[in-house]
Amino acid sequence: MSQRDDDQLPDWLSVRRDAMTDVPGVVVLPGAAARTRGGFFAALAAGLALPAYRGDTWDALADVLRDRLDAGPLIVCVDDADHLLADEPAGQYALFLRVFGDLAGTAAHPLRVLLRR
């Protein structure tokens, strides 16, 4: 049975406590590797085989993720999500939410983000 904490979250974002083995095609990122923006970008690039030209800004990441979403739906799970951007100022986490929320609302295919505690 799934344990979820996402009653007040947008449709594209879920917080879960259970393992992600029940979600086919999910890209799992280790939260410990995503404590900084650079680490998060690198983990995404490795997990999604993003192009090397992706850049190091949220706008550049949004562009390559939008290109990826043109090809089909995407589900990203961050394990140990309490580590996500933990070594960055709080504004970086807000940018993460804004960028992924915008993509989820405007991309050609669905985007889901699962934060696993």
Per residue in 15-39, pLDDT (tens digit) is 988 766 567 778 999 999 999 999 9
Q: Are 42 and 33 in contact (CB under 8 A)?
A: yes
Is the pLDDT assigned to residue 7 strictly greater than 70?
no
What letter does residue 33 receive in the DSSP assignment? Answer: G
> Model's pTM, two decimal places?
0.86
Check: CATH 3.30.60 for 32-111? Answer: no
Per-residue pLDDT tens over the stretch 53-90: 777 899 999 999 999 999 999 999 999 999 999 999 98
Report pLDDT for 96.
96
Is the pLDDT assigned to residue 100 strictly greater than 50?
yes
Domain ranges of the chain: 32-111
